[in-house]
Amino acid sequence: MTAAASAPTLDAIARPSGGLAMVAMDQRESLSTMFDQAGAGRPDRDAIVRFKLDVARALAPLASGFLIDRHYGFEDMRAGGLLPPGCGLILAADALEQKEGGPVEETSLDRVVLDETDLGGVAALKLLVIWRRDAHREQRVALAERFVAAARERGLLSVLEPVVRATPAEQRDGSWDLDAAIREAASELSPLGPSLYKAQVPSAGVGSPEELQHLSELLGARIQGPWVVLSQGVDRDSFLAAVTAACRGGASGFLAGRALWSDVVGRPDVPAALAAVSVPRLERLVEVVDAEARPWRQA
């Protein structure tokens, strides 16, 4: 049997409804920065792994998919059997260029994941792409194309996550338009054929429900295939409404991290805080996905 013939469908990371309610726990340098900003100092590796495993124990039973990186907790989580049968494992396949305390500037394919890692039990690979209207635009398209092909060759789903950024010139002259860039990136990258397109929330979740739904419909018209939204850049308290609007506008759900657990980082009792704060958030989001999301097979 060929790899392509044995590849799973999105049911591997979807709810029975056909919607997707997935937790992102693949943050690396950015998670260390969150600890520092919470007053807990920069954590060592064990502290990061411990936090990620606590999140998996608390949230994976509610999630249809769980995203993690190979650096912090992947092997521990898999060895511990922390993901229940209904929660598919997603592994980050991106190598990040990121200075301490700063945002991700560029990405590339992580050859350790693709060439040296046992991918048994993994349902999908994920790639973050920083999208800009600059001289490297064509190279990033080629990167995304290689990623989709690499996942397909390994019999795995591909989750493509473009995050748009302004160029210095766009910042200087005031021409930057977040929503126009999100749509332009979708027009350019979704035709490459990823199994799932992971998009930024239109308008960063700012606006009335009707406005956000309309912007989501405009975005969905540019995306070929099923898509979900991420939570980066969206106010944590606004994410539920943003997901609702996105699903009503054609999204199949979400793949989110910070909106679920960022205010739990640095707490003295993380498991208790996750149970009190993050679990109810995820429960409400799952309800929205089951009620409002476009089933992925209809996309």
Active site residue ranges? 198
Taking each helix axis from N to C terminus, what angle separates 239-248 and 209-220, rounded to the nearest 10 degrees? 50
- Whole-number Å distance between alpha carbons of 239 and 59: 17
Query: CA of 210: how far to CAs of 117, 202, 206, in Å?
Result: 45, 12, 11
Torsion (CA) 34, 202, 132, 176 in degrees, nearest 10:
-110
User: Residue 191: which residues within 8 A CB-CB, separation 6 or more?
Assistant: 224
Concatenated DSSP letters for 75-135? HHHHHHT-S-TTSEEEEE-EEEEE-TTS-EEEEEE-HIIIIIS--TTEEEEEEEEEE-SST
